[in-house]
Structure 1
Amino acid sequence: MVVGRKPPYAAESTPLPPEGFPPCRSLPSSSPLGPIVPRSTATSGRITALIPAQLLRKAEEFIDSGAFFAELAAMVAYPTESVHPEASVAVTAYLDEVLTPALTGLGCSVRTYGNEDPRGGPFLVGRRVESPKLPTLLCYGHADVVDGQADQWGEGRGPWTLTAEGERWYGRGAADNKGQHLVNLAALRLLLAEQGRLGFNLTCLFETGEEIGSPGLARFAAAHREGLRADVLIASDGPRVDAATPTLFLGARGGVQILLDVDLRPDAYHSGNWGGVLRNPATTLAGAIASLVDGHGGIRVPELLPPGLPDAVRRSLAGVTVANSPGDPAPDEGWGDISLTAAERLYAWNTLEVLSLGAADIDRPVNAIPGRARAVLQLRHVAGTDVSRVGEVLTEHLARQGFPMVDVTVLGRFPAARTPLDDPWVDWARAALEQVAERPVTVLPNIGGSLPHSVFTEVLGLPALWLPHSYPGCLQHAPDEHLLAPIAREGLVLATALFHALGNPTAELPLPAYAKGPR
């Protein structure tokens, strides 16, 4: 699926790998991966007995040869910024010129669907049915990216031209999500070329609005439940727990965005002439926020907390280290609920964050009491938290605290969801991955961020597993977003092995019970 022709709005040339493109077999000690070097997959007798060594070598060679880089460069050249309506031309071209040929090459029938939600873009679905007796895999990816922020990238870099600097491949979408869904498409392609079959039925779903909250995705899934029937979802998005650790995660925290507005009067009044007799909306807002979350990040409203921390979740996070890669910021001591570990606070608990806060002009202050102050807060919450009445809960709490003048508006929501840790597909996937990783795979109950996991678990009723091919320091929503070549290389090996295990069950690694055919 090398896309050779240049779209009319893309960069002047599609970059190829730099001359003397280095294989990703070894890493300097300064690498975000540290000194860890994945062991050669061809050297383990146990692995070669279950997964053909030549298949895994081909996965490594696909990265080392520069072929993966060239394909990703062509994908990055499409400025598929869903936040900008005018980017719909690039989005449509990406579906037609990149993803449709990729899926057709896998033997899929492909169809594009419109979105009933006017805020969102189209959906693309590819289907390959080998036998109604085989399990069905659902894959997912998103074609859209965030704003390119073209004027903020480092020297010699830009959002729409993939640039290699050492092991970092810079470009918008390189990590989120084009590089990640390319890894999985390449793994499927390698498996099909090696075997002449996949050994399972395949459905691929691509959306074009994940970066703006996946508008219309849940409605589309509900309307097309029959066409999206499967036994398991395996997809890639988000980061590993750290660069060096192969990771599976089983869900995502949700988010509720909240506006607090203290609009007391249309004009500002002199602070000397009126100070002490006019309520200051900025001071009021600061007090209101402090009644919700203290100065050390502790949530003060019990209704905003989860019902508890399940023992299975606590056990899964034992030994998980947060911010374990060079260059990561160190977690702040004493921040949040100090009765929890850093991993528990990030992956198993709720947090209330102030995203923006303002009154008057902070760069040009004058001696006046402002008439209005506003703040946007975000409640990041884990599955099991009742957020159905967040607006009412906050309004009632603020009134009790003496702040009835603070207006509360819920700006948007994104649901939390989690595949159970004891789902049989979780143990199956971990066992398959550890055969080739040759080190423990970390299984997280969910990531700290948000993605549309609930669509697959709640709407489609599937176990959903995420195999991320990125890391927390990839800058995916910032300038200088990048994919780490060694993670892409290992990720392609892991994805190829996982798909091979799905299509070739053995007595040592049998599949969980599944419906005979798409369910």
Structure 2
Amino acid sequence: MSSQAAIEFANAHQKHYLQQLIEFLRIPSIGTSPAHRADMQRAAQWLANLMERIGLHSVQLIPTDLHPVVYGAWGSDEHEAPTLLIYGHYDVQPADPEEQWHTPPFEPTIQDGNVYARGASDDKGQLLTHLVAAEAYLRTSGKIPVNLKFFIEGQEECGSFGMEEVIQQHSDMLRCDAVVISDDSFWDAATPKITIGTRGLVYFEVDIQGPRHDLHSGTYGGAVHNPLQVAAEMIARLHDAQGRVAIPGFYEHVQPLSAEERHELEHIPFDEERFLHEEIGAPALWPGEVGYSLRERITARPTLEIHGIRGGFVQEGQKTVIPADATIKLSMRLVPDQDPLEIARLFEEHIRRITPPTVRVSVRLLSYAYPALVDRHAPAIQAAVEAYHLGFGSRPVFLRTGGTLPVVADFMRILQAPVVMMGFGLPDDNLHAPNEKLSVSQFFGGVRTAIHFMECMARQSTSP
């Protein structure tokens, strides 16, 4: 079985695979829109049909409360070869605002070496690299060096709602030695990145109820504790003067960076001026939690952010009203080993402790997700390092991400398998924004890397 033969096959059929990607991207599988339920089903069936044509077995659509999971496999757990579970998602973000697209979002266009379309990088193009790699092996060798299982969901863009239960219910079928996720980007145009950590999340709404109804500020001002003022006062008590979250017990289980990880983080080039002026556009950076670098604060430290305050009169003009109520929307990003349910309890206790007797509050937990941290020395991670080197000619850096990917912690906890987050996108792919793209060279570099990764995993299993 030759990885070189598989790569040569994929290279010889690049036009076919690009057309295949374009066909997939034409399906407007917007998972968050009820108007696109039929398109979601069409995208799922498109994937199932592709898996069957490639030669996978046990192909099926696993029903969920919303959109189906597409499953397919090759090989058997009884074989001595390691088993890889490939995760991806076929749902995409809405294309709004469509007027800012240079080309129609669901009419894929190839320009300047890029495929422009919604979902090109997130995640249709990236997940397709593994299906192409599998087909290339089967067409040239009749077999794949590892056992493969594909688990492709349609609810990632709405928080992978219900996926924890699906993974739990099918844990025997999904049993594997490693999970592979390609839904990420390189560190820069020339440097691959393996994400070894994701932050967890708790998201809240806090409702503050004051008087029975809105009041005239001239008649009642000075006698009523304005719920919007209460909201501002409570928000001001969520951080201390050192930029730390002021909830008692919040940091008790935070796992600090290892010396190895901190050393590597310090030596990865990071241009704070470019980060400020090109990505953020604010007058200056907030110093945040005292004692930690910017890179550490945005990836490896927990945070609390306010997302919105609702209440009172917000239309054009003026209205002198004391609102009856106000609502705060906020979330906390969590790091290992913080438990989101414990943090939720601590937060609610803190809110009730700082609530003045002049108002009533209710606290609603809207969603939560666990943080995850992968051992960079795990064999599957080291196989990915070698595969990147063979596929792109560069070794990756290891980084945590500040974002949240709930299925990572779910896979690790339920399947007891490491998760290899090896993306093939680029930082300027415009994810969730107009003019999303995927570089054609990155797409086929991803195919090469996926082919090498399967071989590297197989070789590791036979090493003494």
Give TM-score scaled by structure 2 length.
0.88
Identity of aligned residues (%): 24
Selected match of 1:333 from 285, 302, 314: 285
- Residue 93 of structure 1 is matched in structure 2 by 42
> Within 2, Cα distance between the matches of 1:512 and 1:351?
44
- Residue 311 of structure 2 is matched in structure 1 by 359
- Spell out, residue by residue over 1:293-315, the C-alpha distance to the aligned partner (whole angstroms, 9 max, x if none): 36996422253335231314434
Closer, same or farther: CA 90–159 of 1 in aligned 2, 3 Å: same
One-letter amino acid of the structure 2 residue matched with residue 242 of structure 1: D
> Within 2, Cα distance between the matches of 1:66 and 1:341?
46
Check conservation: 1:233, 1:465, Cα contact below 8 A: yes
- Residue 213 of structure 2 is matched in structure 1 by 267
- Residue 344 of structure 1 is matched in structure 2 by 296
Query: How many Å apart are 1:195 and its aligned residue?
Result: 2.7
> Within 2, Cα distance between the matches of 1:483 and 1:302?
45
State the secondary structure of the residue aligned to 2:161.
Answer: coil
One-letter amino acid of the structure 2 residue matched with residue 190 of structure 1: A
One-letter amino acid of the structure 2 residue matched with residue 210 of structure 1: E
- Residue 426 of structure 2 is matched in structure 1 by 471
Q: Does 1:376 align with 2:329?
A: yes
Q: Does 1:248 align with 2:194?
A: yes
224-233 or 78-87, larger mean C-alpha shift: 78-87
396-405 or 368-377, larger mean C-alpha shift: 396-405
Check conservation: 2:120, 2:436, Cα contact below 8 A: yes
Query: How many Å apart are 1:279 and its aligned residue?
Result: 0.9
One-letter amino acid of the structure 1 residue matched with residue 207 of structure 2: D
> Within 2, Cα distance between the matches of 1:250 and 1:108?
31
Closer, same or farther: CA 362–471 of 1 in aligned 2, 3 Å: farther
Check conservation: 1:323, 1:329, Cα contact below 8 A: no
One-letter amino acid of the structure 1 residue matched with residue 62 of structure 2: Y
> Within 1, Cα distance between the matches of 2:54 and 2:418?
27
One-letter amino acid of the structure 1 residue matched with residue 87 of structure 2: Y
State the secondary structure of the residue aligned to 1:175.
Answer: helix
- Residue 314 of structure 1 is matched in structure 2 by 262
- Residue 23 of structure 1 is matched in structure 2 by none
One-letter amino acid of the structure 1 residue matched with residue 88 of structure 2: G
Check conservation: 1:271, 1:368, Cα contact below 8 A: yes
One-letter amino acid of the structure 1 residue matched with residue 185 of structure 2: P
Q: Does 1:415 align with 2:370?
A: yes
Query: How many Å apart are 1:54 and its aligned residue?
Result: 5.8
Selected match of 2:60 from 111, 114, 129: 111
Check conservation: 1:237, 1:467, Cα contact below 8 A: yes
Query: How many Å apart are 1:450 and its aligned residue?
Result: 2.3
Query: How many Å apart are 1:205 and its aligned residue?
Result: 1.0
Q: Does 1:200 align with 2:153?
A: no
Check conservation: 2:48, 2:71, Cα contact below 8 A: no
One-letter amino acid of the structure 2 residue matched with residue 351 of structure 1: T
Check conservation: 1:351, 1:380, Cα contact below 8 A: yes
Check conservation: 1:359, 1:373, Cα contact below 8 A: yes
Selected match of 2:399 from 444, 449, 454: 444
State the secondary structure of the residue aligned to 1:292.
Answer: coil
Check conservation: 1:141, 1:236, Cα contact below 8 A: yes
- Residue 38 of structure 1 is matched in structure 2 by none
- Residue 24 of structure 1 is matched in structure 2 by none
State the secondary structure of the residue aligned to 1:83.
Answer: coil
Q: Does 1:233 align with 2:169?
A: no
State the secondary structure of the residue aligned to 2:120.
Answer: coil
State the secondary structure of the residue aligned to 2:442.
Answer: helix
Closer, same or farther: CA 379–69 of 1 in aligned 2, 3 Å: same
State the secondary structure of the residue aligned to 2:267.
Answer: coil
Closer, same or farther: CA 458–155 of 1 in aligned 2, 3 Å: closer
One-letter amino acid of the structure 2 residue matched with residue 81 of structure 1: I
Mark the runs of 5 or more structure 2 residues left unpaired by the alignment: none
- Residue 70 of structure 1 is matched in structure 2 by 19
Query: How many Å apart are 1:176 and its aligned residue?
Result: 1.3
State the secondary structure of the residue aligned to 2:87.
Answer: strand
> Within 2, Cα distance between the matches of 1:199 and 1:362?
62
Query: How many Å apart are 1:204 and its aligned residue?
Result: 0.8
375-384 or 385-394, larger mean C-alpha shift: 385-394
Equivalent runs, 1:474-513 vs 2, <5 Å: 474-503=429-458, 505=459, 510-511=460-461
- Spell out, residue by residue over 1:64-97, the C-alpha distance to the aligned partner (whole angstroms, 9 max, x if none): x544432222112212222123422212211222
Check conservation: 2:340, 2:368, Cα contact below 8 A: no
Query: How many Å apart are 1:485 and its aligned residue?
Result: 3.2
Instruction: Please give the root-mean-square deviation of Cα atoms over the aligned residues, in Å.
Output: 2.9
- Residue 163 of structure 2 is matched in structure 1 by 217
Closer, same or farther: CA 492–297 of 1 in aligned 2, 3 Å: farther
167-176 or 368-377, larger mean C-alpha shift: 167-176
Mark the runs of 5 or more structure 1 residues left unpaired by the alignment: 1-49, 515-519
